[in-house]
Structure 1
Amino acid sequence: MPDKTTYLTDDGYKKLKEEVEHLKNVRRIEIASRIKEAKELGDLSENAEYADAREEQSFVEGRIMEIEAALKNAEVISSLKSEPNRVDIGDVITVEKEGAQQAYTIVGSNEANPAEGRISNESPLGQAFLGKYKGDACEVKTPKGPAVYKIIDIA
Structure 2
Amino acid sequence: MKRPAAHNLINEHIMSKVSYYSPEGLKKLKEELNHLKDVERPNASNAIAEARDKGDLSENAEYDAAKEAQGMLEMRISKLEEVVANARVLDESQLDSSKVLIHSSVKIKNQTNGMEMTYKLVAQTEADLKTGKISVDSPIGKGLLGCKVGDVADIVVPNGIMKFEVLEIFRD
> Offset at 1:134?
2.0
2:76 aligns to what?
63
Paired with 2:51 and 2:39, the residues of 1 have a C-alpha distance of: 19
Match of 2:144 among 129, 135, 141: 129
1:31 aligns to 2:63 (yes or no): no
* 1:1-150 correspondence runs (5 A): 4-97=17-110, 98-114=113-129, 116-150=131-165
Q: Secondary structure at the match of 1:75?
A: strand
Gaps of 5+ in 1: none
Paired with 1:94 and 1:81, the residues of 2 have a C-alpha distance of: 21
Paired with 1:80 and 1:154, the residues of 2 have a C-alpha distance of: 14
Q: Which has the higher helix share?
A: 2
Q: Deviations over 1:70-127 (max 9, x none)?
A: 1111122222143223211011211110211112121123333445533222332112
Paired with 2:126 and 2:68, the residues of 1 have a C-alpha distance of: 26
Gaps of 5+ in 2: 1-14
Q: State the percentage of identical aligned residues.
A: 36
Using structure 2 for the length normalisation, give the TM-score.
Answer: 0.80
Paired with 2:36 and 2:82, the residues of 1 have a C-alpha distance of: 15
CA RMSD of aligned residues (A): 1.9
With over 3 angstroms needed to count, the CA separation of the structure-2 counterparts of 1:3 and 1:54, relative to structure 1, is farther
| Paired amino acid for 2:70 | Q
> Offset at 1:3?
6.0
